[in-house]
Structures are given as C-alpha cells and as structure tokens.
Amino acid sequence: MLIDYLMNTQKNLVEKLSNFYTPAGIHVYVKDKLINQEIDLENVLGRVEDVIPSHLRSEMEMVIIGWFDEFEEQKISAFYKDGALHLSPATVDDESLFDDAVHEIAHSVEEMYSYEIYSDQKLKKEFLRKRKYLHDMLWEKGFKAPLSLFMDSEYDEDFDMFLYKTVGYDKLSSMCQGLFITAYAPTSLREYFATGFLEFYLEPNHNFLKKTSPQLYKKLIVLQNQD
C-alpha cells in the first residue's frame, strides 16, 4: 500500500510538472525535459504574463517545450504556430527562455494586428531606409552585395546568410549601433518588429528604442494601448 501510494504521488508530481496551466490560463506541456534543470519554467512564464499585456497574449493558447524538426531545419530555438509557442529544451537559461518567449509572442501579435502595424507603410519605410544605409556602410567596408538584396523587406535566406556568414554578427553588431536594435533586426521587416517588441518589454526605459526606431516605437505604444 505504501509503495503504491508513493508511486502514485511521484506520478502525479511528474504530471503536474509536465502538464499544467499558468495563472492566466495558458496550457503548458513539457513534451521533452529542459536540458538545464535549473531553469524555473513557471517563474519565466509568470514573468512573461506580468510584462506582456493580456490583450497581446490572447492568441497564445499553449506553450510546448519539446524537440521539433523546425529547430534543426531553421537553426532556431523557438517558433510560434497555430496558437502554440514552441520552445526548445536546449535553451541555456531563464533569460534566454524569456527572450525567446517574448520574441515569438511578437510574431503572434503581428498576426492579430497586421493592419495596425503595416498598413500605412511607415514601419516598412523606416526599415528600408535603415537597410539602404546598412548596404552603403557594408559596401564601403568591402562587403559587396546588390542593393536589391537589401530592399526586399521579406525574409530572404540568401540575405540572412550574407549577414550571418559573410559579414558575421560580431562586425554587424558594431555597424548596427544606433541604426538597429540588434544585429538580427535587419534580417527582415518581421524580425525588425519582433526585436523591437522584445526591447520594448525587456527595457522599461524606452529611450534607446525611441531614438533608434521612432516609427517602431510609436507602433508599439499604439498596440500596448489597444485594449
């Protein structure tokens, strides 16, 4: 009897840790355990709920921790799809998990508020102006690539590889200072929005974002006050 009780208690504990709901009602399913067992998953998700307004989380119904083909195929550690936030078990620490979660929530916000974000073309124009400036800087430093590659706001794998492998994020980071929030922001218009979204909710002082990307900052203020 005691052995059965202990086994059932252990089973219930495992189920509680791998299949639960956050205080805001988001279903969390740990399909595969986090490699770093020191990560406090509940605390990280609680922080996400504290920081991101509820109306900007409304499309996110579930969080899944697990191994998915997309992680290997796209060299990513998180993605948002069909109302579910997918996070890699290989995430190194709490801060990385938080960043991944907020970044992918940004993409869900894009789906909800695409018209408000992009319809007036102001964000796209700001982004492409920065891309043009980046092209000119890189050209002067010997990184020759056609301007047309820089003037497409959609994701392009050739452009991504040019930045990542040919230029390198170390060099790109120094050139992006004061131009883009991060070296990843120039990748596409969608990533420009997502990196700004993360900065907006990661850093309470918005001075850097407001100065670097004023149109993006204005969009994020509007979205925050939508509810």
By the 8 A CB rule, do 55 and 227 touch?
yes
So what's the pLDDT on residue 11?
41
So what's the pLDDT on residue 9?
41
Long-range contacts of 37-42 (CB under 8 A, 24+ apart): 38/93, 39/91, 39/93, 39/94, 39/97, 40/94, 41/65, 41/97
So what's the pLDDT on residue 7?
42
Give pLDDT tens digits along the chain (227 positions).
Answer: 544 433 444 444 334 457 889 888 889 999 999 999 999 999 999 999 999 999 999 988 999 999 999 998 888 899 999 999 999 999 999 999 999 999 999 999 999 999 999 999 999 999 999 999 999 999 999 999 999 999 999 999 999 999 989 999 889 999 999 999 999 999 999 999 999 999 999 998 899 999 999 999 999 999 999 86
Q: Tell me, letter by letter, the H, E, C secondary structure of 95-157.
A: HHHHHHHHHHHHHHHHHHCHHHHHCCCHHHHHHHHHHHHHHHHHHHCCCCCCHHHHCCCCCCH
pLDDT digits (tens, 9 = 90+) for 29-60: 999 999 999 999 999 999 999 999 999 999 88
Q: Looking at the chain, how many residues does it have?
A: 227
- Strand, helix or coil for residue 57: coil
Q: How far apart are CA 143 and CA 96, in angstroms?
A: 31
**Could you tell me the two tokens for 207?**
């001075």
Residue type (1 letter), 115? Y
Q: What is the pTM of this model?
A: 0.88
DSSP character at residue 30: E
Taking residue 93's Cβ as centre, other Cβ atoms within 10 Å add up to 12
Helix (H) or strand (E) holding 209: helix 207-212
Radius of gyration of the chain from its Cα atoms, rounded to whole angstroms: 20
